[in-house]
Amino acid sequence: MTPDEELAAAITGREHWRLDGSTALYEPPGATSHVRVVAIAAGGHRERFRTIVVAAGRAQHSRPAGTAVEAVRWSERVNLG
């Protein structure tokens, strides 16, 4: 499974998620920020995805994740204001 396919499968059926090319966006209503999840080149490392919290058009925080499911679950738990 490619990283794009893994990301698409991880958000299937979950509320407030959408795909924008090869990026998954989590945009719950009423939140002042959103989360982007992107695949990164593993380069022999465990981290294959990166979650990025974006507020006012700027990256505020990022976190690596080993799987798309891990990135999606973390994104849904983070306080987006």
Question: pLDDT tens across 1-55, in order?
Answer: 899 999 999 999 999 999 999 999 999 999 999 999 999 976 666 789 999 999 9
Residue 59: how many other CB atoms lie within 10 Å: 10
Q: How many domains does the chain have?
A: 1
Task: Indicate whether this model's pTM tops 0.75.
Answer: yes
Q: Cβ distance 74 to 47 under 8 Å? A: no
Residue 65 sits in which domain range?
3-77
